[in-house]
Structure formats: structure tokens, C-alpha cells
């Protein structure tokens, strides 16, 4: 911070977050004040200042910093910061609107899409969130990250529906060990144990030393009623 702080606000932001995490509030405030003085017109610094003010429940000052940052920041950066602040204040509908604008600018931004889905769930329920992510993956069917995010939200969906989504993901990337393990567990829950074990064999080939493999295998063996073998699988996981 002392060496490079005059060039950019980023070292001060990083240092502040570290000090805050360590509950060294007085030192953090000293860093913040110095950085704000040195970078009073820097968009990133003003957005950070708005976050700090929001955490301190100083809504008026947070709004002031946001307004000053509006013309000094990229639209998406300003919207992200504003969305997080609105969410922190509990203004969920307004936060969702901002995140939707970010997602419109950068539709492949997983953080933005995750935030939109989460807020849609908070405001409208799981079906609304799942429908939204389905529309996104229909638009970008070959984006692995978006497909994985969609699958994460299908934990309460009918098993054949999540199975189909997993097959689509594996068609994009046959080397996705996580998807192969999830498919195996899905098949086991459908009582299709031979198919499940075939998927687990493929998953082990893809990631032979992955700790989750043993946990998933243990869960499958429990579903089969093979408790002794399941215990061995879980013990193997603990040894890793």
C-alpha cells in the first residue's frame, strides 16, 4: 500500500479488507481515509467507499459515493456495486433489477447470473429461478459454467429432468468428472444401479484421486443397501 498506493486504489482496498477481516478497525479506517483522499475521483475507490458506508449503516454517505462513482465507472461495475449495496439493505427487488442489467450487459457472467437466480428465488420461489436459468442455458447451451449453475438449482426437480441436464453437460465436456459423479448419484436415486456404477467408473478414470468420488460412492452403496461397503467408501474419503 505504501509503495503502490499512489498509483491505484486497489492496494488500499485489499489492505482494508484484510484489516477488517482481522477486526483491526482503527488501522482499516486509517487506510481507508488515506486512500479516499488520494483517489477522491477514482471510480473503483468511490464504489468501495459506498460499500464501506453501507456496512456502517450510513445510507446517505453511501448514496453520495454511488452518485459520484456513476460517471467515473463502467456501467456494469457501477451496477454490480449498487446491486450488492441494495441487497445488503434488504431492497431485493431493486437489487434484482440492477443484477438483471449486469446480466444483460454480460450474459456469461456467472456471478451475475447466480445473483439473479438467487434473488428470483427469494422473491418468487424456486420454480421462477429454475425457469430463468433454463432460459439462459437455452440461449447459451454450450456454456459449461451456465449449465453447471442450472444443474445446481435442479436438486428438487424430477430426477429424469436433472438427468437430462447432466447428459447435456457431459455432451459439452465428456471429461467433467463432477457431472459424471452427479449423474451416477442421480441414476442411483432412480434405482438404476448398474448404470450408476458405470458412471462412477468413468468418473474415477477422469479424476482417480478425487475425494468426492468416495463420498458419492458411499451414498450410492447406502441406496443399494450395502452399508458395510458404504462405510469403507466413507473411511477411504477420510483417509485422503
Whether 196 shows a pLDDT value over 90: the answer reads: yes
With beta carbons less than 8 A apart as the criterion, state whether 36 and 44 touch: no
* Span 48-80, pLDDT tens digits: 999 999 988 898 999 999 999 999 999 999 999
In the predicted model, what is the mean pLDDT of residues 173-187?
97
Per-residue confidence (pLDDT) for residue 80, from 0 to 100? 93
In the predicted model, what is the mean pLDDT of residues 200-222?
96
Distance, in Å, from the CA atom of 237 to the CA atom of 235, rounded to the nearest integer, reads 5
Instruction: Report the percentage of the chain scoring pLDDT > 90.
Output: 89
Whether 3 shows a pLDDT value over 70: the answer reads: no
Q: CA separation (Å) from 116 to 54, 69, 78, 140?
A: 21, 23, 16, 16
In the predicted model, what is the mean pLDDT of residues 158-170?
96
Per-residue confidence (pLDDT) for residue 9, from 0 to 100? 87
In the predicted model, what is the mean pLDDT of residues 177-198?
98
3-state secondary structure the chain: CCCCCCCCCHHHHHHHHHHHHCCCHHHHHHHHHHHHHHCCCCHHHHHHHHHHHHHCCCHHHHHHHHHHHHCCCCHHHHHHHHHHHHHHHCCHHHHHHHHHHHHHHCCCCHHHHHHHHHHHHHHHCHHHHHHHHHHHHHHCCCCHHHHHHHHHCCCCCCHHHHHHHHHHHHHHCCCCHHHHHHHHHHHHHCCCHHHHHHHHHHHHHHCCCCHHHHHHHHHHHHHHCCHHHHHHHHHHHHHC
Find cell 422473491 and name the residue: 123
Amino acid at each position: 500500500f505504501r509503495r503502490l498506493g499512489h498509483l491505484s486504489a486497489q492496494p488500499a482496498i485489499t489492505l482494508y479488507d484484510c484489516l477488517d477481516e482481522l477486526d483491526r478497525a482503527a488501522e482499516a479506517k486509517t487506510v481507508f481515509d488515506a486512500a479516499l483522499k488520494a483517489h477522491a475521483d477514482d471510480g473503483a475507490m468511490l464504489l468501495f467507499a459506498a460499500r464501506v458506508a453501507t456496512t456502517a449503516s450510513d445510507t446517505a454517505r453511501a448514496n453520495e459515493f454511488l452518485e459520484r462513482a456513476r460517471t467515473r465507472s463502467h456501467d456494469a461495475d457501477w451496477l454490480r456495486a449498487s446491486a450488492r449495496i441494495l441487497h445488503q439493505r434488504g431492497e431485493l427487488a431493486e437489487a434484482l433489477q440492477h443484477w438483471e442489467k449486469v446480466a444483460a450487459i454480460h450474459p456469461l457472467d456467472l456471478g451475475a447470473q447466480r445473483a439473479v437466480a438467487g434473488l428470483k428465488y427469494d422473491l418468487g420461489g424456486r420454480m421462477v429461478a429454475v425457469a430463468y436459468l433454463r432460459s439462459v442455458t437455452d440461449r447459451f447451451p454450450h456454456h459449461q459454467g451456465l449449465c453447471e449453475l442450472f444443474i445446481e438449482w435442479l436438486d428438487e426437480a424430477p430426477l429424469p429432468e436433472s438427468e437430462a441436464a447432466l447428459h447435456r453437460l457431459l455432451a459439452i465436456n465428456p471429461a467433467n468428472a463432477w457431472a459424471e459423479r452427479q449423474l451416477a448419484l442421480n441414476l442411483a436415486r432412480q434405482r438404476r444401479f448398474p448404470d450408476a456404477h458405470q458412471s462412477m467408473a468413468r468418473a474415477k478414470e477422469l479424476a482417480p484421486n478425487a475425494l468426492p468420488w468416495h463420498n458419492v460412492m458411499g451414498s450410492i452403496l447406502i441406496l443399494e443397501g450395502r452399508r458395510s461397503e458404504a462405510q469403507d467408501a466413507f473411511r477411504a474419503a477420510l483417509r485422503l
